[in-house]
């Protein structure tokens, strides 16, 4: 039996080349992915990350935002509670002959000077500020504020019918009244409403200029309380000034932009 000499000039005829051929032939071919589908074992690093609605990171943030949003029932309850507390605080202030800041204090001061009822004056004093609310805060906030102003005016007629107050100690009435007004305003702020007037201006300055709403309110309240020297005694003015500080400290220490996560 004769063997033909190897022709090493032809590729693949050397022993090493033939060994490679045998190895290649014996190795199983890799399974191909179904047509139109990428190979799962080799992810495309160049493909952009998918951020759809099923992305856990985005889903978690969306759920958090929704969880922090006040429901309609919460807003209604919050507004009614805030208005009731603020109106009862003003009832104590009026029963003790004191004044307060903001448009409520201005309405009280005007009622002492003219004899007009507080409820009517409170609505009239707030009318010019509604235009500012529409311009800077939008219609939803403005409508809620109009509702709170009307509700507080109505409560101002209700409380005297429910309570027969002969007299209230001026110190207690001034401090307790302003404390209740402060807590009521805080609740209203957190549910996207206010008592109008200076409250609207204070909220706008806090959002636009970063000024604390409580400190802005305090500055205007000092001016209103000092003006009351023309109507009430210096002792009552001093108590009213102290009460205004209490009211605005409640706001300054508890209402800071970005601190409260709930929203309307």
Q: Where are the domains of the chain?
A: 71-254
The percentage of residues in the chain with a pLDDT greater than 70, rounded to a whole number, is 70
- Find the farthest-apart pair of alpha carbons in the chain and give their distance in angstroms, rounded: 138
Read off the pLDDT of residues 191-203 as tens digits, 9 standing for 90 and up: 887 787 887 788 7
List of residues 6+ apart from 172 with CB closer than 8 A: 96
Q: Distances from the Cα of 134 to the Cαs of 38, 144, 193, in angstroms?
A: 56, 11, 13
The token pair that represents 157 in the structure block = 């007629």
User: What pTM does this model have?
Assistant: 0.66
Provide the β-strand partners of residue 130: none
**How many C-beta neighbours within 10 Å does residue 212 have?**
18
- DSSP H or E run through 142: helix 139-162
Q: What is the pLDDT of residue 62?
A: 47
Average pLDDT of span 19-31: 49
Q: What are phi and psi of 13, to 5 degrees?
A: -100, -5
Instruction: Find out whether 193 and 147 touch, Cβ atoms under 8 Å.
Output: yes
| Token pair of 130 as six digits | 């509604």
Please, what's the b/e burial string for 194-211 (b: 16 or more CB within 10 A of its CB; e: otherwise)? bbbbbbbbbbbbbeeeee
- CB neighbour list of residue 232: distance below 8 Å, 6 or more residues apart: 97, 98, 99, 112, 240
C-beta of residue 198 within 8 angstroms of C-beta of residue 217: yes
User: What are the φ and ψ backbone dihedral angles of 263, each rounded to 5 degrees?
Assistant: -150, 165
**Could you give the CA distance from residue 192 to residue 143 in angstroms, rounded to a whole number?**
10
**How does pLDDT run across 142-176, given as a tens digit for each residue?**
888 899 999 999 999 999 999 887 778 999 999 99
Calpha distance 247→189 (Å, rounded): 14
- Which one, of 93, 205, 90, 223, lies nearest residue 149 by Cα? 90
Comparing 2 with 147, the larger pLDDT belongs to: 147
- Identify the residue whose tokens are 């001093």: 238
């Amino acid at each position: 039996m004769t063997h033909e000499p190897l022709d090493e000039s032809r590729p693949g005829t050397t022993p090493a080349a033939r060994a490679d051929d045998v190895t290649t032939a014996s190795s199983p071919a890799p399974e191909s992915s179904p047509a139109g589908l990428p190979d799962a074992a080799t992810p495309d690093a160049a493909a952009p990350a998918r951020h759809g609605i099923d992305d856990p990171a985005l889903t978690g943030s969306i759920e958090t935002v929704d969880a922090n949003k006040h429901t309609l029932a919460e807003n209604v309850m919050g507004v009614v509670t805030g208005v009731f507390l603020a109106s009862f605080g003003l009832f104590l202030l009026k029963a003790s002959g004191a004044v307060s800041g903001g448009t409520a204090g201005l309405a009280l001061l005007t009622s002492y000077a003219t004899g007009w009822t507080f409820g009517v004056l409170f609505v009239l004093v707030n009318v010019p500020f509604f235009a500012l609310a529409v311009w800077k805060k939008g219609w939803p906030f403005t409508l809620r504020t109009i509702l709170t102003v009307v509700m507080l005016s109505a409560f101002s007629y209700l409380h005297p019918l429910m309570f027969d107050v002969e007299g209230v100690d001026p110190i207690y009435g001034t401090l307790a009244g302003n404390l209740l007004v402060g807590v009521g305003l805080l609740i209203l702020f957190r549910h996207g409403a206010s008592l109008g007037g200076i409250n609207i201006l204070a909220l706008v300055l806090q959002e636009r200029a970063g000024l604390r709403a409580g400190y802005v309110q305090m500055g205007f309240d000092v001016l209103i309380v000092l003006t009351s020297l023309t109507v009430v005694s210096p002792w009552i003015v001093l108590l009213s000034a102290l009460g205004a500080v209490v009211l605005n400290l409640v706001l300054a220490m508890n209402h800071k932009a970005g601190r409260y996560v709930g929203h309307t």
